[in-house]
Amino acid sequence: MNLASIDIALSHGVSLRSIRTSDAAPLAEAYLRNSEHLAPYEPLRTNDFHSEAGQQTEIAALIAGRDAETTLPLVLADGSRIIGRITLSGIVRGAFQSGNLGYWIDQRYAGRGLMTATVNEVSRLAATMLELHRIQAGTLVDNVASQTVLTRCGFVEFGLAPAYLRIAGRWQDHRLFQKILEA
């Protein structure tokens, strides 16, 4: 399986593709452009994270995870502009065959169905390329938009995790969703 060469046309000129080392500057720009939009849903970030150098470090770690087949890091691109990221991380083999899904989209592209199409494509890749049994995702309790995407993509809620992740500077509860990829 070649996880480094994924490139899937979605709609309106947007593609879902493997992350590249050359994405550092466009990703830094996307994070800066969306910093207020993403702040309530992400861990606190250092200023370096929003720089090209910070993204080079982040991308190197993601590519190392991809090479170890424990991470599938992808970007949403509109031409040369990065408009989102989606990552299947924490991929576990053996009896579990599972991974964790995380994603975000540029605020100007939200509400167009792009993330629904993206989550569906990543679910397909998880089943076919990675041969996973299930994927899961967690959302903040009040993140209705993300919960709607997951539900539309066939995920079902299976629990509430108290103080699950440190988001926006505090430990926050998350609703947990999963999708079984094979019967």
How does residue 116 score in pLDDT terms, banded at 50, 70 and 90? Answer: very high
Q: How many domains are contained in the chain?
A: 1
pLDDT 10s digits, 100-113: 999 999 999 999 99
Residue 127 belongs to domain with CATH number:
3.40.630.30
> Does residue 91 lie within any of the structural domains?
yes
Residue 176 lies in a domain: no
Q: Is the pLDDT of residue 1 over 80?
A: no
Q: Is residue 117 part of a domain?
A: yes
20 in any annotated domain = yes
Residue 121 has pLDDT above 70, yes or no: yes
The answer as to whether 165 is a domain residue is: no
Confidence of residue 183 (pLDDT cuts 50, 70, 90): low
Torsion, Cα 154 142 19 60, to 10 degrees, reads -130
The pLDDT confidence band at residue 2, using thresholds 50, 70 and 90, is confident
Residue 12 has a pLDDT of: 82
Give the tens place of pLDDT for each residue, 74-103: 999 999 999 999 999 999 999 999 999 999
For residue 106, the enclosing domain spans 3-133
Question: Which own/partner pairs from 68-74 qualify as long-range (CB within 8 Å, at least 24 positions apart)?
Answer: 69/3, 69/130, 72/3, 72/99, 72/122, 72/125, 72/126, 72/130, 73/18, 73/19, 74/6, 74/16, 74/17, 74/18, 74/19, 74/122
* Residue 181 included in any domain: no
What distance in Å separates the CA atoms of residue 159 and residue 106, rounded to the nearest whole number? 28
d(CA 20, CA 12): 22
Mean pLDDT of the chain: 96
